[in-house]
Amino acid sequence: MELEDTLFSTSEYVQTHTGNKVSRQSTLCGSQNIILNGKNIIMGESMIRGDLANVRMGQYCILSKQSVIRPPFKKFAKGVAFFPLHVGDHVFIGENTVVNAAVVGSYVYIGKNCVIGRRCILKDCCMIADDTVLPPETVVSPFTIYSGSPGHCVEELPEAMQDLMIDYTKSFYQHYIPDKDVSGVNPINLVTRK
């Protein structure tokens, strides 16, 4: 089953030479600390807080609208610091989700409106259902689905999850194409007041 084409307006997105499609309305704080490994999609109004700590995302990751990726905070004996956050390849993060995890593995599907607590560890090939709240420091094992508030393991995933996520993210990326017919939308003629 092929996904439909999702169009985005060319003026709204920046395409880098490694194939990342980053929306101009997203906020990438501390962009020198953010590494996007290629072919990622960062949709509108999302935020990546690279200013707190390094954020590294793998290939074919999709960050939907209004999501926040934020490195977690850890108190050490000698002080405090924000932990670097590693996101693996082929990860889909739904709309409006707050990801405060320490590590997100590869081939993970995170639903929308989730809250991933501080310092959680999401292993490869897991799935977080919509509207889940994961308490801090939860470890989500591979091939499980977590759901609810607080998140509990509700189901197991088939071993094909890795191939499914590769298929899904690759075809999502390939079908996310610029809409060449849309001219810049300018809702009002502003009379500047200076």
Stretch that binds another protein, among 16-24, 25-33, 122-130, 163-171 (CB under 8 A): 25-33
Q: Determine which residue in the list 98, 120, 129, 165 makes contact with another protein, applying CB under 8 A.
A: 98
Indicate left, alpha or beta for 73 from its phi (over 0: left) and psi (-120 to 50: alpha). beta
Minimum distance from residue 167 beta carbon to another protein (Å): 26
Binding mask 153-182 for another protein (x = CB under 8 A): ------------------------------
Stretch that binds another protein, among 73-81, 83-91, 101-109, 162-170 (CB under 8 A): 73-81
Residue 29 interacts with another protein (CB under 8 A)?
Answer: yes
Q: Please give the Cα distance from 155 to 107 (Å, whole number).
A: 17
- With a CB cutoff of 8 Å and minimum separation 6, the contacts of 78 are none
CA distances 123 to 18, 76, 132, Å, are: 26, 24, 16
Of residues 43, 117, 124, 169, which one binds another protein by CB under 8 A?
117
Two tokens, residue 191: 């009379």
Query: x/- string (CB under 8 A) for another protein, residues 36-65?
Result: -----------x-xxxx-------------
DSSP 165: H
CB 85 within 8 A of CB 69: yes
Compute the least distance from the CB of residue 64 to another protein, in Å.
14
